[in-house]
Homo-oligomer: A and B are copies of this chain.
Amino acid sequence: MGKGDKMSWGGSNRLQTSAYGSINPDIDSERKAPSFDVEKLTNLLDGGADRTRIRRSAEHVINSDAVFSRENQYFLTQIERYEAAVKKAVHLRQKMKELGWTDDGPEIQSAFGALGGDVAFAVHNGVFMPTITGLGTDAQIAKWVPLAQDYQIIGTYAQTELGHGTYLRGLETTATFDTSSQEFVLNTPKASSIKWWPGDLGRSANHAVVLAQLYTLGKCHGMHAFIVQIRSLVDHSVLPGVKIGDIGPKMAFEQIDNGYLIMQNVHIPRENMLCRYSEVTPDGSYIKQGSDRINYISMVCTRARILSKELVPALSKACVIAIRYSVVRRQSELKPGEMEAKILDYQTQQQKLLPQLATTFAFHFMASTLEAFCNQVNVQIKTKGDISSLPELHALSAGLKALLSEICSAGVEVCRRACGGHGYSMLSGLPSLYTRVVASCTYEGENTVMQLQTARFLMKCLTRVDCGQPLPQSVSYLSDPISLHCSAKEKTDYLKPFIYTEAYKHRAQRLITNAGIELQSLLQSGVEQYDAWNSTSVQQARAAIAHCQYIVVKNFVETLEGLKHEPEIQRVLKMLCDLYALTGILVDAGDFLHDGYMTGRQLDLMTACQLDLLALLRKDAVSIVDAFDYPDQQLTSAIGNYDGHAYERLFEWAQKAPTNAKVNLAYEKYLKTRFQSAQSKL
C-alpha cells in the first residue's frame, strides 16, 4: 500500500532500504543489541531452520505476485473482497500446479498464512473435500474429489441452520428415501431449519454436503451427509426447489460468501448419500457398517488446528504492531525537561503489552503440543483402530480452543487499544485482527459449550479417581495429593517454575474437586441429573478453564526444559514463561487466595517480581517481535512496519481512501446553496 510495501520488508533477515529513506531512529535504536540471536528464535518458532527457509520461500511466492496483493483491502466493498478472494483461490491452485506444491505440504500452509485468510474456498478445501474423503466410499471419493480438487465443482458444507448450531441432534433438515424413485428427497421444512452460515455457499458453490435427518421406511436414523447439487454447472443458475443467497454483512470475513440454503423437495440419487459407515439399500433398509466415531477425529483435529492457524497468528501480529508502534509513538514528558518519552517506557503500557507477548509464546508451544497429540491419536486410530485416547483429546482440544480463543481475542483488543486513536483506524490493521479472531469464540463449537464438554470429561475422571482407576496423562494430576500452601518465601522464588506450576495445579485440583463435590451433593439430595448439572454449570466451566490454564503453563515449562542446549534462547523464553505464569496468577488472584494456598503478602512479592520482569523484557521487546518474522505485507498495518515510519505511512495510505474521491454529492445536494449564502456575510 505505502511505498515501503513494494519491498520485501519484515523480520530481521530481510532488511532492505526503507522507502522513506531510512529506518526510524526510535525503532532502530531498539535493535542495537538484542540479548539473543533473533534468527535462532525465528528458527525455533518455525520448527527448525529448514522450515524457516521453506516458509520464507513460500511467502515470497505470495508477496511478490500482484494477484495476491492485499493492497487496498481496507477500501474494498464486500463484493470486491469476494471477487478478489475467488481470483486468488483460482490463481493459487494454478501456482500450486506450477510449483509442485501438494495439498498437505508445508509450502501451501505457509502460503495460506501469507494470504492472511484472504482467499476463497476455505470450506470447499477444508471441509467439503475432507468430508467426502472421510465419510464417502472409495467410489464416491473417486468420483467427486478429482473434480473438487480442480475447482470444476465447488462444494460447501451445509450443517448449521438458522435455529441450530452447536447442538447437532436438533437439526431439522430432512432427507427422506423414496423407494419408488430410488431417490432421497431433501427438505428444510421451516424458517429455523434454513441452512445458514456455510462458507462458499452464497455465490460460489454448485454442490453441497448437506447434513440432514435421514428418514427411510418411516423411521428416523439421525444425522447423515448427502451430496446435493444446488446450482447448474452450465450457467450457475439455482436448481429447481433450491433457494440460495448470501446472509449479508458480518463483523469480518467480508471475502467469504457465507450463505443460506432452502430446499423444497429436492431429489438426489441414492448414491449421493455418503455411505462409508451407513447405507440405505434399494428396498429402503438402513444398514450401519462400523462406527463413524473414527471420523470424529478429523473434527477434533480441525478444532485443534485453529490454535496455530488463527489464534497465535492473530495475537502475534497484534503484538508486533503494538510494540513497534509503542517505541515510535512518544507522549508526555516522563522526565521533566527531556523530550517526550516512548510510550513503551511507561509501566502501564508495558503491563498491557508484554504479557500479551508472553501469551503468544505460551500458546504457540501449546498449539504445537496439541497438534502432536492429534497426530499421535490419528496414527493410533489409523493403524490400530484404537480410539481410546479420543475422549482425552476431545476434552483437551475443546477446552483449549475455548480458553485460547477468549484470551487471544482479549489480547488483540488490548494491543489495539494500547495504540490509542490510531488503533481504531482500520489502516492500523488491528481492528480487522480483532473482528476476525473473535469469531473463533463461536465457530467450531461455542466456547461455553466447549468448556462444559471438558468439564464433563473432568467429572468422569474424578469418578475414576474415586474408584482407583488410572487416568489419562493430561489429567493424571487429579489423583496427586493436594498441597496446602505455596512455599515461596522471597521475590526470586516466583521465578522458579515449580512454584508457579504447583500453584496452577493446586487451583485446578481444588476447583475440579469442588465442582465434583457440589454436583454429587445435589444428586444425593435428590436433585435430578440435568438440574444438578445446570445448577453447577458456572462452577463447572470455571473448573475446565483452570484445568486448561494449568496445562498451558506446564507445557511452557516442559518446552523450556527441552531447550537446555540453547541457553541464550532459553533465557529469553524463561522470562516470557515467568511473565505468562505470574500474570495469570495475579489476574485470578482470588482463586489462589481463596483457601489460603497463597497469602496477600506472597502476592505482593509476586507483583513486584512481575513488574521487574516487565522492565527486563521491555529491552528486548522489539527484537522478540522481529523474531516472528512477518513481512510487512502480512501485517497490512500502516503503524506496525519494520521501518517504524508509522505517521508517514498512515498519511500515505489515508489519501487513497475512496472517501477522498473528488465528487462530493452530499455537498452538491445539501450544502452548496447554504454555504454560498454565507459568502456575503463573512
A interface with B by C-beta (< 8 Å) = 74-75, 77-79, 82-83, 86-87, 90, 120, 147, 150-154, 160, 162-167, 170, 191-192, 194, 196-197, 202-204, 206, 229, 233-234, 236, 245-251, 257, 260, 329-336, 340, 345-349, 351-352, 413, 417, 420-421, 423-427, 431, 435, 438-439, 441-443, 446-448, 452, 528, 530-531, 534-538, 541, 586, 588-596, 600, 603, 611, 647-648, 650-651, 653-661, 664-667, 669-672, 674-679, 681-682
Contacts and interface: CB of A to CB of B under 8 A. Distances in A.
A537 B166 CA distance: 44
B332 A248 contact: no
B203 A657 contact: no
Given A530-B335, A590-B593, A234 B152 contact: no
Contacts of A153: 675, 678, 682
A589 to B, nearest CB: 3
A152 B674 contact: yes
B246 A537 contact: no
Contact of A234 (B77, B665, B676): B676
Given A426-B249, A593-B594, A654-B246, A679 B234 contact: yes
Given A170-B331, A676-B234, A426 B250 contact: yes
Contact of A655 (B75, B154, B162, B245): B245
Contacts of A659: 78-79, 82, 202-203, 246, 248, 257
A609 B74 CA distance: 48
A417 B441 contact: yes
Contact of A426 (B162, B248, B340, B596): B248
Nearest to A540: B348
A245 B654 contact: yes
Contact of A424 (B250, B257, B596): B250
A237 B104 CA distance: 57
A251 B431 contact: yes
Contacts of A424: 250-251, 439, 442
Contact of A654 (B87, B166, B247, B336): B247
Nearest to A351: B538
A260 B648 CA distance: 13
Q: Determine how many copies of this chain the complex contains.
A: 2
Contacts of A442: 417, 420-421, 423-424
A427 B421 CA distance: 26
A482 to B, nearest CB: 14
B667 A348 contact: no
Contacts of A538: 347-348, 351, 611
Contact of A166 (B150, B151, B331, B423): B331
Nearest to A670: B90
Contacts of A452: 348
Given A120-B666, A206-B675, 11 more contacts: A74-B248, A83-B666, A152-B681, A153-B678, A153-B682, A167-B332, A245-B657, A250-B425, A336-B530, A417-B438, A593-B600
Nearest to A588: B590
A421 B78 contact: no
A250 B424 CA distance: 6
A151 B654 CA distance: 27
A670 B191 contact: no
B420 A248 contact: no
A660 B201 CA distance: 12
Nearest to A536: B347
A66 to B, nearest CB: 16
A14 B650 CA distance: 48
Contact of A151 (B427, B666, B671): B671
B658 A78 contact: yes
28 contacts: A75-B248, A75-B249, A77-B77, A83-B666, A83-B669, A120-B666, A151-B671, A151-B674, A152-B681, A162-B651, A192-B647, A196-B421, A204-B667, A233-B675, A233-B676, A234-B675, A247-B654, A248-B659, A251-B425, A333-B530, A335-B531, A347-B534, A351-B538, A421-B443, A538-B611, A593-B593, A594-B600, A596-B600
A209 B218 CA distance: 77
A352 B417 CA distance: 23
A666 B348 contact: no
A45 B647 CA distance: 45
Nearest to A85: B666
Given A348-B537, A657-B248, A154 B425 contact: no
A544 to B, nearest CB: 11
A94 to B, nearest CB: 11
Contact of A681 (B147, B650, B667): B147
A151 B676 CA distance: 11
A519 B678 CA distance: 57
A455 B160 CA distance: 50
B594 A233 contact: no
A333 B167 CA distance: 9
A346 B534 CA distance: 6
Given A82-B666, A530-B334, A672-B236, A249 B165 contact: no
